[in-house]
Structure 1
Amino acid sequence: MLIINGKLHTMCGDVVNNGYLWIKDGKIADVGDMSRLEEKNGKISGEGREQVLDVRGAFVMPGIIEAHCHIGIVEEKRGIIGDDCNECTEPVTPGLRAIDAVNPMDPAFHDAIKAGITGVMTGPGSSNPVGGQFVFMKTQGRCIDKMAVLEPAAMKTAFGENPKTAYGDQNVCPSTRMGTAFLIRQELERARKYTLEQEDSQEQERDLKMEAWGPVIRKEIPMKTHVHRADDIMTAIRIAKEFDVELTLDHCTEGHLIAEEIAESGFPAIVGPDLTARSKIEVQNLSFKTAGVLHRAGVLTAITTDHPVSLINYLPLCAGLAVKEGLPMEEGLKAITINAARICRVDGRLGSLEEGKDADIAIFNGNPMETFTRTLYTIIDGEIVYDGEETGRDEDVI
């Protein structure tokens, strides 16, 4: 496929006002200005190009990425039958794998594709101090084993109200924030010892719970930590530093109150959901300004809907509302593309329009962070998976 006459927002520092993208074998083979296309046309034609897509000045960007959600695990329209988000039978469940629970038939995947969202980080909820492993996956497909990009992608941990609410009346630890922190510390210490022993011995009996921590202890994947309140954020940072593991600060609702401390930690933030009610005490300081404050402090920042808390198709609008409250325009786009890819550790394949990366592309008739913008095309692995032009609506590009 050859996409021509697009305004390319590459997310790697360049905006090509009239550019082209050449896609070959599901990858981006070349990116450039239309003025260069003629000199390269012979080579491209010689490669057996089958389709030319003239987007007539449309807004072309990398496929949008949702860095924290529960799509496919909390299914729409299915109620409790489709809710596999929290295993509330015990508070520490590191061996759970999101890949075993995601239903690719969840209709929310189509909503995501229609919004230009091509990649999602999905996994367990926050009832347990340790919830299990996340998976990063594409939004198009019927078989999650083929849709997965990175698995495991992170280990879910949670601080604050949710573990207290889930276990506080069951006479089971944790009933306090201290209890939650203790359980996570205890688990990390056990995991550290198990991983070291496993490396030293080939005869160690397999422990699926401890084995799941190996990628975290080796810093191959982060702890993906549910934190809203400022004190919970600092507890998560304190524990991560104590055990020398990587961390992402998910939700980070009061991050704007301690932005300098978060920046000093070096850990990234995934901010949101902000397009929702202040339904808990720990989200009373919820604000769309948080992402902008963290960015200005030097924190690598992405934005989330936490679907289904906010619907996943509103992710571009959530980024737009953060821009309205002070996040720079380009950073709003980065928060749902390359920043999200970096935080999820898939930036080698996704998040920007660069040669060699997966041909996951979203094309709009305007800036996707604006309310009236509609999706023209969503492309995953070089294939058009959503064609907004088929709707028959006004084709004028704005």
Structure 2
Amino acid sequence: MLAILGGTVYTVSGDIVPNACLLIDQGKFLAVGSRLAIPHDALCLNVTNKVIIPGLIDCHTHLGIAEEAVGTAHIDKNEVNQPICPHLRALDGINPEDRGLEDAYTSGTTTIIVTPGSENVIGGQSIAIKTYGKVIDHMIMRQPAGIKMAFGENPIQMYMKKDRAPSTRMTIAAMIRENLIAALNYEKDLANGKVGRDLKMEALLMLLHGEIPLRAHAHAADDIMTAIRIADEFGLKLTIEHATSAHKIAEELACRSIAATVGPSITARVKVELKDRTYRTPAILHQAGVKIALITDHPFLPVSSLRLEAALAIREGLPETVALRAITLSAAEIIGVSDRVGSIEPGKDADFVILDGPPFAVSTKVEHVFINGIEVSNNN
């Protein structure tokens, strides 16, 4: 058993506990409180005057499939010759030795979504993983965690160069509809023994049956509305990824209880879709009643910048408590893993971060990171 003593614990799901004792056993949080009895055989770590928060969660990255400093041989985030790829699994492309994963856990990010890229109309299956480990199969939290589809500029720019569809936003939407209808027809034919297994159709049926969400890459308001329209037509669970201009249509998201994973905000307006980028988007969405998470989209923004994304959102009006939830518990809820991570409470995985100051101060240093109750990083 491990006892973390003296720190201020931000549980996220409940109160902030000063001068706390945090008990951990067999990789799980056992108890947190200011007056707990410490078992005589506990290994104690004194962190007086430190801050303890849950492990951070980034629910949109390309870690492990867009590896750093390795060249094109290990850039696996897009299958650039086929615009419809629901059967591809990010799981099969992730290298756990990617240096970016080390950057993640040493900076306090302990859970991530790895998703295929946005150059295909249907890019493939996302996965939720812990950021520390040697074998990706042992790091899995949820597989699959959604199917990635891309609306807007990226697939158009990719396939126009190849003289292939799509070349318009109308075509993107039509291709998605065609494949969803094909999956419904496949289901009927399979039941009647008319066809054999089809991995593409099987993946889309998971989406149509509500087992996993559509993770829609959409920056511009009109593209977000197209994703919503398709989700409404087919009864799909939907999360809007990036959501750069979502503040323009916040009420549309709120009335449908559609979550938005916002970011990366620390970026230049390098394409038309980003012209309305503002650090105020998270606050506007929150005020409208939209559940939000904040993302880095690593490697487009380094995964270690997640707390900075939150700090800038706070500066522009997002309450600090909501900002912390947006990179912990709300993110876990959006991913579908909040039964295990996202807050410090008994029974959940003991993923937590010890800081030497307030969570969103630029000068605050990450001193210790624990995943499943094991210390994976010590920067003290």
- Shorter-chain TM-score bucket reads over 0.9
1:173-208 Cα shifts (integer Å, max 9, x gaps): 11000000001111111223334555x468851111
297, 307, 319: which is aligned to 2:298?
Answer: 307
Q: Aligned-pair distance for 1:13?
A: 2.7
Question: Partners of 1:160 and 1:320 in 2: how far apart?
Answer: 29
Report matched runs for 1:168-187 at 5 Å. 168-187=160-179
Aligned mates of 1:204, 1:56 — CA distance in 2 = 64
Matching residue within 146, 149, 158 for 1:157:
149
What are the residue-to-residue correspondences of 1:4-43 with 2, within 5 Å?
4-33=5-34, 35=35, 37-38=36-37, 41=38
Pairwise CA distance, 1:214: 2.8
TM-superposed deviation, 1:109: 1.1
Match of 1:321 among 305, 312, 317: 312
Deviates more, 1:11-20 or 1:145-154: 11-20
Cα distance between partner residues in 2 of 1:31 and 1:86: 43
Paired letter, 2:83: P
Following the alignment from structure 1 to structure 2, what is the Cα–Cα distance between the partners of residues 13 and 215?
34
- Cα displacement (A) at 1:215: 2.2
Map of 2:236 onto structure 1: 245
Count of residues paired in the alignment: 379
Corresponding residue number in structure 2 for 1:370: 361
What is the percentage of aligned positions where both structures have the same residue? 43
* SS of residue paired to 1:241: helix
Matched, 1:346 2:347: no
Give 5+ residue unaligned stretches, structure 2: none
Q: Secondary structure at the match of 1:171?
A: coil
Q: Match of 1:19, as an amino acid?
A: A
The whole-number CA distance in structure 2 between the counterparts of 1:204 and 1:4 is 61
Residues 314-359 of structure 1: CA deviation (Å, up to 9, x unaligned): 0111111011111001111111000100000010101001111101
Seen in structure 2, the aligned counterparts of structure 1 residues 206 and 334 have a Cα distance that, compared at 3 Å, is same
* 2:82 pairs with one of 68, 83, 90: 90
- Partners of 1:173 and 1:309 lie apart in 2 by 26
Q: Distance in 1 between matches of 2:320 and 2:187?
A: 44
User: Retained in 1: the 8 A contact 2:19–2:48?
Assistant: no
SS of the residue 1:321 aligns to? helix
Q: 2:126 matched to 1:134?
A: yes
- 2:95 match: 103
User: Contact 2:186–2:195 (CA<8 Å) still a contact in 1?
Assistant: no
Cα displacement (A) at 1:165: 0.2
Distance in 1 between the 2:233 and 2:3 partners?
Answer: 50
Q: Distance in 1 between matches of 2:186 and 2:54?
A: 40
Deviation at 1:16, TM superposition (A): 0.7
Give the structure-1-normalised TM-score: 0.93
3-state DSSP of counterpart to 1:165: helix
1:257 aligns with 2:258: no
Q: Pairwise CA RMSD of aligned residues? A: 1.4
Q: Say which is worse superposed, 212-221 or 248-257, in terms of deviation.
A: 212-221
Instruction: Compute the displacement of 1:278 (Å).
Output: 0.8
Please tell me the residue identity of whatever aligns with 2:138: K
Residues 318 and 369, structure 1, Cα contact 8 Å, conserved in 2: no
AA matched with 2:297: D
Q: Secondary structure at the match of 2:6?
A: strand
